[in-house]
Amino acid sequence: MDKKMLALSIFLFGFLGTLNLVKAQTTDNKIQEVFINSGDGFGELRKLLKDNFDFTNQDYKEGVVNSDVRFSLSEEGKITNVHANGDCKNVSKEIENVLSHLIYKVDMDKLSQKMLASSYVMPVSVTIDNR
């Protein structure tokens, strides 16, 4: 059980990532894609992903698994269009499953103007211990 707690902790901190780049703006000055990091207002979403991730799947690649999850937010803050891509397709599939089925809305009022975008990219690192 201690290994699972360690993995969960590393998973959470993996979210914090060092990516804080903002991709180029379109000609009408709308940001196309934003990389989110630790101080961006998505902390609760990260916690929900960590808490709902199923670490018991035997098909996960062992070690540190890095993924990027892209998603959109509806006007009401609902997470839509979730797509994850990373080192292990099964981990990516689980990330997509968790985020797609959350009954959660991002508080759009808490996002700064520079965080409003048509899509978001959240780096995710998961550590899968030896079984």
Residue in 123, 120, 7 with CA at minimum distance from that of residue 72: 120
Please give the residue range of the domain that contains residue 118.
Answer: 42-53+64-128
Cα distance between residue 68 and residue 50, in whole Å: 15
In a domain, 80, yes or no: yes
Q: What pLDDT, on the 0 to 100 scale, is given for residue 33?
A: 62
Q: What pLDDT, on the 0 to 100 scale, is given for residue 73?
A: 87
Region of poorest pLDDT, from 11-15, 44-48, 86-90, 113-117:
11-15
In a domain, 3, yes or no: no
In a domain, 1, yes or no: no
Report yes or no: 125 and 37 within 8 Å, Cβ to Cβ: no
Q: What pLDDT, on the 0 to 100 scale, is given for residue 45?
A: 86
Domain count, the chain: 1
pLDDT over 50 (residue 16):
no
DSSP 75: T
Report yes or no: 34 and 23 within 8 Å, Cβ to Cβ: yes
Token duo for residue 9:
């902790």
In a domain, 26, yes or no: no
pLDDT in tens, 25-42: 333 444 456 666 656 667
Kindly report whether the global pTM for this prediction surpasses the value 0.75.
Answer: no
Packing angle between helix 43-52 and helix 2-16, nearest 10 degrees?
Answer: 150
In a domain, 79, yes or no: yes
Cα distance between residue 27 and residue 24, in whole Å: 9
